[in-house]
Copies of this chain bind each other. A is one copy, B any other.
Amino acid sequence: MALRHAVLAALLDGEYSGYQLAKVFDIGVANFWHALPQQLYLELAKLEKEGMVAGRQVIQETRPNKRLFKVTAEGLAELTRWAASAAKPSFIRDDLMVKVQAADRIPAGPVLEQLDERVRVADAKIEVLAKLLARLRGELDEDAFLREGEHVGPYLTCLRGLRFEREHRDWCVLAASVLRAREVACTPAT
């Protein structure tokens, strides 16, 4: 039950509507906690009922109205309490790695295509994250920001996301080249 805490942590950045939160989640928080918009709306509703977040209606003329949420003192207390309790070990789920695990027993072709596609997706993600980090840093260089910048938390987690994507990308390139070389070695007639 840590989605609630991921939501609270994301809302520390400022006031967001459910819709905006979904966007923010997708580029930032999704690096360590993936969630669908539906989950977020539901979780925000629960958190509001429990007094962890406070919502306020914003009437808009050119857009549908929305409700902005911010973390209450109680929400911050809950986050603090939770942060002090033991963390569960991290875990990854990755279909593609399952496929690579089996790649020397099943046709490698489709897996190779998916590895290539992943490289493209990772490259795009790397670009987005690099830009986001530059924006968070502002005028400062990385060392200075880590020493003195505001909101170093989101910066650190995005940095982890960036490094993860780079590693992931490099591994996909390696795996694809290894499997490709072996495919050629096995079926020289193709």
In the complex, A104→B86 CA distance in Å? Answer: 19
In the complex, A167→B87 CA distance in Å? Answer: 18
Range of interface residues on A (Cβ < 8 Å) = 35 or more
- The reply to whether B30 and A91 form a contact with Cβ atoms under 8 Å apart is yes
- The reply to whether A106 and B83 form a contact with Cβ atoms under 8 Å apart is yes
Say whether chain A's binding surface is mostly helix, strand, loop, or mixed.
helix
Q: How far is the CB of A113 from chain B (nearest CB, A)?
A: 9
- The reply to whether B167 and A100 form a contact with Cβ atoms under 8 Å apart is no
* Contact of A120 with B by CB under 8 A: no
Q: How many identical chains are in the complex?
A: 2
* A83-B97 contact, Cβ under 8 Å, with A163-B171, A164-B92: no
Please give the residue numbers on chain A whose beta carbons come within 8 Å of chain B beta carbons, in ascending order: 2, 5-6, 8-10, 12, 29-34, 76, 79-80, 83-84, 86-107, 110-111, 114, 118, 121, 146-147, 150-154, 156-157, 159-160, 163-164, 167-168, 171, 174-175, 178-179, 181-182, 185
Closest 10 CB pairs of A and B: A32-B97, A90-B94, A84-B110, A34-B91, A87-B95, A9-B102, A87-B96, A9-B101, A80-B106, A32-B94
